Amino acid sequence: MTASTETDVRRAPLPIFGKAFADGRRALLGWGIGIAAAIFLYLPLYPSMIGTSEMQKLIDSLPRALIRTLNYDQISTGAGYTQATVFGLIGFLLMSIASIGWGAAMLGGDEESGQLELTLAHGVTRVQVVVERFAALVLKVLLITALMFVLIALLNGPSQLGIDVGYLAQTCLLFAGLVLLCGSVAMLGGALTGRKVWGIGAGAFVAVVGYVFNALGNQSADLEWLHGLSPYYWAFGNYPMTNGAPPLALLAFYGGSLLVAAVTALVLRQRDIGV
Amino acid sequence: MSHVETASWPHPGASSPPTDAAIQAVEITKRFGSTQALHGVTFTVPRGSVFGVIGPNGAGKTTTMRALLDIIRPSSGHATVLGTDSRNAGPELRRRIGFLPGELILEGRITGRKLLQHYADISGPVRTGHIEELAERFHLDLAQPVRKLSRGNKQKLGIVQAFMHEPELLVLDEPTSGLDPLMQQEFLLLVKEARDAGQTVFLSSHVISEIQQAADEVAILRDGRIITVASVEALRQTAVRHLRMTATGIRPADLSERLGRLDGMAGLVCMAVTSPAGAAATEATATLEGAIQPFIQAVSTLDLTDLVLEEPDLEESVLALYTAPEDSAESHRASRATRTARGSRAERKEPK
């Protein structure tokens, strides 16, 4: 056992990050395909919708409450349409599910399966595990969002969306931040309890409550204060596709996610694992 | 258990820790909510030795091992592992340890080779080709995705993972579970080689024969307490032998009287039988604990037609320790040391 100095010391530079990212490659590809399919489904429909007066009639015939809930009030512009359908609805749904799933599995699921115990018995620190896995989450979310940016920008011309690419980029950043916040909270939930299901619950709480508070706040002035509690509203309430991203919202999402990650590291440091 | 050197409390080594100890656990307690998993566990594992811990499920074996690796934190007490306090020990300490968890769950599409490479990345350096050598010894196919491996093969992967960086200390929780007998022998050989190379092995089992073959010293853990620390040899001396003998020319009552006087003789049954040749004979069965010389002398003048004195059964004597009657028969809710273990057991007072 006298460890000779001639031993092969080849080590991956960021082993935890590398494995966290590599293990999720297939899933990442799957989510990417899902998002791309949604984009290709919604956006090419836009020219056929604005051209016809029937569509506007249909929208007008819907109850105001429903339109506000679905955020379809700006749907007659390409930017509003893209925000309402891709970012605000199907994209948000898909990506928050993906991000929450990644976040919850990262520590809670890993502990539940007994593998975290083995990882922590090796030459790593708990803080390092949290930081590297959080970094993998950030990268995954950003990669999917980058894909969304590219696809929407590609369809901008053919689908006559008339989107300002700068605002699109800002909206993508906001969107990624919102989704990342949900995933980070899921990671924290998993780290606190050692159970994946609590992580999913915590992450879904942020996503669902954010969505519901936004929808309720849209209904009447009396409920508008709910917007302040809705991360969803922070992202989309000011129509970033036409007005750009509010810096405060970006700060809330990215700063908040980092803060949640830091709390996660502190929590995991204190806990007994696998009990 | 009269011949077993009973661990006095606190352990003699506790006050003056030997500097060459690989593990020095001092009065470790662990409480999970309302259950007390460890009640002050104290033991010393000398460097270069194989130290086994046996005990029923839920005795605290897994909790003790996790505490040594800082996976869980003791409620009180402390452990020194390879000269470093285990609490908040850095990655450098854990690189020098090989750990095999008790409930090894390995999943995923990743192949065995890639998974081992990952663990090599986060532990001590691994000698080139060593993973392949170990895999070959255990007939383990490293190209298979981990999730497709059988339980035994996953366990082999866990063993390779623990041994591959040739750590100074191996902490192995139920290492042979799921292995077939041939592979169990291979594992025991690996442990022997590790000891010969100067590595220290701390392993748990509920299979006594395995500890018997591999370990120099044994700690018996029950309800979160170490009942006994003894050498395997000392344990063996306390073990009972099963005895069966047939003699002619003596009546059952006489034989019963002659054998019944001996120390350590228990469960003696003498009865009249007919030998295959048709002669009247007496058969005796019993268990014998301790020295056999008095017994041999007692039967030397008899006309023996058959005598079977079996090898001491360590298992039996250890099981007796698991369930030994209480000094104070105090009913006690079972401590739940691991997730899986449940059941009610009586609490034993600490040996004085």
Nearest to B120 by CA among B142, B102, B105, B141: B142
Which string of b and e fits B298-325 if b means at least 16 CB within 10 Å? ebeebeebeeeeeebbbeebbeebbeee
Nearest to B114 by CA among B134, B143, B135, B137: B143
Q: How far apart are CA B204 and CA B287, in angstroms?
A: 28
Q: How far apart are CA B256 and CA B250, in angstroms?
A: 10
What was the pLDDT predicted at B313? 67
B200: closest chain A residue by CA: A1
Residue A64 in tokens: 């105001």
The third-level CATH classification (topology) of the domain covering B12-96+168-236 is Rossmann fold (3.40.50)
A268: closest chain B residue by CA: B71
CA–CA distance from B308 to each of B246, B253, B264, B274, B295 (Å)? 9, 20, 17, 18, 13
pLDDT in tens, B300-349: 889 898 899 887 666 676 766 666 654 433 333 333 333 333 333 333 33
Confidence of residue B135 (pLDDT cuts 50, 70, 90): very high
Instruction: With CB atoms and an 8 Å threshold, state whether B127 touches A7.
Output: yes
Phi, psi of B346 (to 5 degrees): -80, 150
Phi-psi region of B108 (alpha: psi -120 to 50; beta: other; left: phi over 0): left
Q: What is the DSSP letter of A108?
A: I
Poorest-confidence range of A60-64, A177-181, B216-220?
A60-64
Chain A interface, best mutation among B82, B104, B118, by max A CB count within 10 A: B118
Q: What is the DSSP letter of B11?
A: -
Confidence of residue A144 (pLDDT cuts 50, 70, 90): very high
CA distance B68 to chain A (A): 10
What was the pLDDT predicted at B8? 39
Q: How far apart are CA B165 and CA B131, in angstroms?
A: 9
Q: How far apart are CA B313 and CA B336, in angstroms?
A: 29
pLDDT in tens, A41-52: 999 988 887 766
| Closest CB to B91 among A12, A124, A273 | A124
Nearest to A79 by CA among A158, A163, A2: A163
**Is the Cα dihedral B188, B189, B194, B196 positive or negative?**
positive
Give bridge partners of residue B285 from the DSSP assignment.
B244, B269
Q: How far apart are CA B321 and CA B138, in angstroms?
A: 34
Beta strands in B33-102 (DSSP E): 35-46, 50-54, 76-81, 84-85, 97-100
Instruction: With CB atoms and an 8 Å threshold, state whether A275 touches B72.
Output: yes
Burial class from Cβ neighbours inside 10 Å (0-12, 13-18, 19+) for residue A12 reads middle
Mean pLDDT over A28-36 rounds to: 95
**Domain ranges, ordered by start, for chain B:** 12-96+168-236, 240-311
Tokens 């006309």, residue? B303
Question: Is A16 at the interface with chain B, CB within 8 A?
Answer: yes
What was the pLDDT predicted at B234? 79
Instruction: With CB atoms and an 8 Å threshold, state whether A123 touches B99.
Output: no
Q: Which residues of B touch A3 (CB under 8 A)?
A: 124-125, 166
Poorest-confidence range of A44-53, B214-223, B281-290, B318-327?
B318-327
What was the pLDDT predicted at B222? 86
Q: Which residues of B touch A30 (CB under 8 A)?
A: none
User: Is 50 exceeded by the pLDDT of residue A22?
Assistant: yes
Mean pLDDT over B255-282 rounds to: 86
User: Is 50 exceeded by the pLDDT of residue A7?
Assistant: no
Phi, psi of B242 (to 5 degrees): -90, 135
| Closest CB to B71 among A7, A9, A120 | A120
Question: Is A25 at the interface with chain B, CB within 8 A?
Answer: no
Q: How far apart are CA A92 and CA A87, in angstroms?
A: 6
Burial class from Cβ neighbours inside 10 Å (0-12, 13-18, 19+) for residue A53 reads exposed
Q: How far apart are CA B11 and CA B26, in angstroms?
A: 9
CA distance B158 to chain A (A): 10
| Closest CB to A275 among B32, B121, B168 | B32
CATH architecture for segment(s) B240-311: 2-Layer Sandwich (3.30)
Burial class from Cβ neighbours inside 10 Å (0-12, 13-18, 19+) for residue A95 reads buried
Sheet holding B76-81, edge to edge: B35-46, B21-32, B76-81, B84-85
What was the pLDDT predicted at A66? 78
Phi, psi of B257 (to 5 degrees): -70, -40
Which of the listed ranges A175-189, B63-77, B193-207, B291-305 does the model predict with the highest average pLDDT?
A175-189
Secondary structure class of B231 (helix, strand, coil): strand
Instruction: With CB atoms and an 8 Å threshold, state whether B109 touches A12.
Output: no
Q: How far apart are CA A102 and CA B229, in angstroms?
A: 46
**Domain ranges, ordered by start, for chain A:** 15-47+74-270
Question: Is A11 at the interface with chain B, CB within 8 A?
Answer: yes
Mean pLDDT over B282-309 rounds to: 88
Chain B interface, best mutation among A107, A116, A272, by max B CB count within 10 A: A272
Instruction: With CB atoms and an 8 Å threshold, state whether B101 touches A8.
Output: no
Question: Is A5 at the interface with chain B, CB within 8 A?
Answer: no
For residue B201, give the H/E element and its range: strand B200-205
Instruction: With CB atoms and an 8 Å threshold, state whether B99 touches A118.
Output: yes
DSSP H helical ranges for chain B: 12-15, 61-68, 91-95, 112-121, 130-137, 151-163, 181-196, 208-214, 232-238, 252-260, 293-299, 314-322
Mean pLDDT over B30-50 rounds to: 92
DSSP H helical ranges for chain A: 15-23, 25-42, 46-51, 53-61, 64-69, 78-82, 91-104, 110-112, 115-120, 126-156, 165-193, 196-219, 231-236, 240-243, 247-270
